[in-house]
């Protein structure tokens, strides 16, 4: 559908990075954009810059989201809010698991529950779930993150089945490494973090992800762009490693008495 067929958009995780870039892009298209994030001051600056309507709300605050979605019929839903605590699962703590499930998966499920039925009833809408290549590929140290992003991937597929016959489009965006401040949020605000993840690399910008989302939304009504992987040209997933055993294997004969 052209942007002219949509009027309202809800963007979570909107205070910085990809979320802020999406708010800017959709605002330029003439949509009434509602920007949701925890940080009030960056949201205020974003509102002044773009004209978006700011909501300083945590996505785990189900009551606040229900109030917002109950009074506004959203044509576009951008589930972007996300957190990470990189750890191997052998080192995971209950707080880590709960946080990632609550923000990265549970909030997405509930927002879709609140918004998608209205889209189906109006026969018009577009859900954009910003997931990650971590939902499709494995790499060390992010076990819970992989699990919740895989859940978002399956939800994205399932939404199209559940709204079959309606003009509700669903797009899963799976970024690889993007030049945003997420690495400082996850690993600490230290110059060495930028050097490790950003400086010297050729990376997509947040605006590139926003442009890809705009491309999916602007496609003709007969076109659903279901899945996009967006990675640096110089990033690749996969590889082969083989480890040597740390201890000798037990004898197949067992211990004789």
Q: What's 211's domain CATH number?
A: 3.40.50.720
Q: Is 145 assigned a catalytic role?
A: yes
- For residue 63, which of 55, 75, 53, 52 has the smallest C-alpha distance? 55
pLDDT digits (tens, 9 = 90+) for 159-194: 999 999 999 999 999 999 998 876 545 555 666 767
pLDDT digits (tens, 9 = 90+) for 193-218: 676 767 888 899 999 999 999 999 99
Which residues face 77 on adjacent strands?
Answer: 10, 127
Residue 83 lies in a domain: yes
Helices 40-50 and 17-28 pack at an angle, to 10 degrees, of 20
Residue 86 lies in a domain: yes
Output the six-digit token pair for 20: 């802020």
Residue 30 lies in a domain: yes
Q: pTM, whole model, 2 decimals?
A: 0.89
Output the six-digit token pair for 78: 């951008």
Output the six-digit token pair for 94: 């209950």
- For residue 72, which of 106, 36, 105 has the smallest C-alpha distance? 36
- Domain tally for the chain? 1
Q: Which member of 74, 145, 183, 197 is catalytic?
A: 145
Residue 241 lies in a domain: no
Residue 87 lies in a domain: yes
The residue range of the domain holding 170 is 3-230
Which residues face 35 on adjacent strands?
Answer: 11, 54
Q: What is the C-alpha to C-alpha distance for residues 185 and 193, in angstroms, rounded to an integer?
A: 10
Long-range contacts at 186-194 (CB < 8 A, ≥ 24 apart): 186/83, 186/84, 186/85, 186/86, 187/86
Range 107-116 average pLDDT: 98
Residue 42 lies in a domain: yes
- For residue 232, which of 201, 193, 203, 207 has the smallest C-alpha distance? 203
pLDDT digits (tens, 9 = 90+) for 27-65: 999 999 999 999 999 999 999 999 999 999 999 999 999
Residue 147 lies in a domain: yes
| Number of neighbours of residue 195 by Cβ within 10 angstroms | 10
| Number of neighbours of residue 241 by Cβ within 10 angstroms | 5
Place of tokens 């004789």: 256
Q: 3-class DSSP state for residue 154?
A: helix
pLDDT digits (tens, 9 = 90+) for 130-165: 999 999 998 877 889 999 999 999 999 999 999 999
Q: Does position 239 have pLDDT exceeding 90, yes or no?
A: no
Residue 121 lies in a domain: yes
Rg (CA), the chain: 20
């Amino acid at each position: 559908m052209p942007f002219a067929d949509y009027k309202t958009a809800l963007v979570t995780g909107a205070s910085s990075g990809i979320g802020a870039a999406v708010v800017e892009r959709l605002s330029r298209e003439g949509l009434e954009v509602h920007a949701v994030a925890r940080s009030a001051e960056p949201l205020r600056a974003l509102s002044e810059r773009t004209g978006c309507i700011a909501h300083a709300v945590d996505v785990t605050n189900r009551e606040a989201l229900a109030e917002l979605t109950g009074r506004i019929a959203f044509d576009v839903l951008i589930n972007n809010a996300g957190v990470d605590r990189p750890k191997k699962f052998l080192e995971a703590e209950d707080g880590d698991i709960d946080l990632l499930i609550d923000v990265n998966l549970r909030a997405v499920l509930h927002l879709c529950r609140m918004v998608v039925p209205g889209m189906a009833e109006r026969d018009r809408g577009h859900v954009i779930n910003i997931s990650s290549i971590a939902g499709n590929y494995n790499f060390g140290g992010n076990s819970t993150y992989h699990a919740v992003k895989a859940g978002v991937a399956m939800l994205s597929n399932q939404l199209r089945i559940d709204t079959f016959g309606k003009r509700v489009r669903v797009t899963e965006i799976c970024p690889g490494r993007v030049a945003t401040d997420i690495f400082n949020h996850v690993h600490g605000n230290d110059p060495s973090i930028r050097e490790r993840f950003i400086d010297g690399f050729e990376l997509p910008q947040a605006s590139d992800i926003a442009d890809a989302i705009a491309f999916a939304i602007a496609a003709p009504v007969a076109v659903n762009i279901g899945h996009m992987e967006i990675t640096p040209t110089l990033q690749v997933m996969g590889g082969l490693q083989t480890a040597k055993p740390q201890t000798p294997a037990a004898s197949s004969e067992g211990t004789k008495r």
